[in-house]
Amino acid sequence: MKNLMVLAFIFLTGCAAIPSMNDSCTTDFMEAFGTCKEEAVVVTLPASERLANLPAAKYKPIVAVYRFQDLTGQRKNRDNIADFSTAVTQGANAFVIDALKTAGKGSWFRVVERVGLDNLVKERQIIRSAREEFEKKAEDKKLQPLLFAGIIIDGGIIGYDTNIESGGRGARYLGIGSSVKYKRDSVIVSLRATSTLTGEILLNVQTKKSILSVGGGYDVFRFVDMDTKLVEIEDGNSFNESVTYATRAAIEEAVLELIYQGHDRGHWVIENGHRHPHQHDGVNEKHSTTGENNEHE
């Protein structure tokens, strides 16, 4: 009877650590514990909210994003494994474009296509050929010219540092113990705006985002029944913040700071006298929130 109670305790403890899933699994084991897929969701970050709530620009700059590369050269770090996968995303330019289009609910930048420019040019050639074939009016054959960008937005992921801080704590008493540990990584992003007329770098911003990993668990190691039978129980879980999520957050913060910096230096104007408080206490004489004593207005 005592053995059955011990086994039941171990079983229930293990079930508590298994995450809930849904009913799309095919194996009997998965069906016994639930389902095994999650619904897709729209990813939003706090930086996205601040970008979306920016006051509108007085004039919308036309910008182009050619590439936003991984410049770290980092590979995924695994013990005793040679892993050739990269540590950070190779498609960060999509995050830059998304952040630019998110700013002020789309009221800040006119972003022109440059990543897929070859496909765009080919499609325009097909349209032009079709119109020449079927249209009779000369004016209907003309396509509007492509927009040219006054500013190029580029940069890259310039740093990915692992295990810059780690620690933990634990305790054990009479064979029963628990522990928790954590690790902190970081990703650093650089973003700059370059004038296409002069080649001058107008704005340059770096942002940093921490990436946290936390794990914990407990264990029981006891002899029972006159110290002749061993009971051993282990349980635990861990949470690893997504590197892609952190990279997107750093890029969005860089775009937000780029907008503020461009306003401060007179390259564009944020409506309603909005200013960005760089200091943690929100005080900065150069960033009036009332529009008074402001040399940029």
pLDDT-derived band at 220, boundaries 50, 70, 90: confident
pLDDT higher than threshold 70 for residue 18: no
pLDDT higher than threshold 50 for residue 176: yes
Q: Residue 228: inside a domain, yes or no?
A: yes
Indicate if 27 and 85 belong to the same structural domain. Answer: no
Question: Using an 8 Å Cβ cutoff, are 180 and 216 in contact?
Answer: yes
pLDDT higher than threshold 70 for residue 3: no
Question: Using an 8 Å Cβ cutoff, are 111 and 65 in contact?
Answer: yes
Indicate if 131 and 69 belong to the same structural domain. Answer: no
pLDDT-derived band at 255, boundaries 50, 70, 90: very high
Position 207 scores a pLDDT of: 92
Q: Record the pTM.
A: 0.73
Indicate if 177 and 254 belong to the same structural domain. Answer: yes
| Rg from Cα positions in the chain | 28
Q: Residue 287: inside a domain, yes or no?
A: no
pLDDT-derived band at 293, boundaries 50, 70, 90: very low
Q: Residue 122: inside a domain, yes or no?
A: yes
Q: Residue 285: inside a domain, yes or no?
A: no
> How many structural domains does the chain have?
3
Position 22 scores a pLDDT of: 45
Indicate if 33 and 156 belong to the same structural domain. Answer: no
pLDDT-derived band at 64, boundaries 50, 70, 90: very high
Indicate if 259 and 129 belong to the same structural domain. Answer: no
Position 167 scores a pLDDT of: 87
pLDDT-derived band at 79, boundaries 50, 70, 90: low
Consecutive H or E run containing 99:
helix 92-102
Contacts of 169 (CB under 8 A, 6+ apart): 179, 180, 181
Indicate if 60 and 197 belong to the same structural domain. Answer: yes
Average pLDDT of the segment spanning 162-177:
85
Indicate if 247 and 231 belong to the same structural domain. Answer: yes
CB atoms within 10 A of CB 39: 5
Q: Residue 281: inside a domain, yes or no?
A: no
Q: Domain range for residue 5?
A: 1-41
Indicate if 33 and 157 belong to the same structural domain. Answer: no
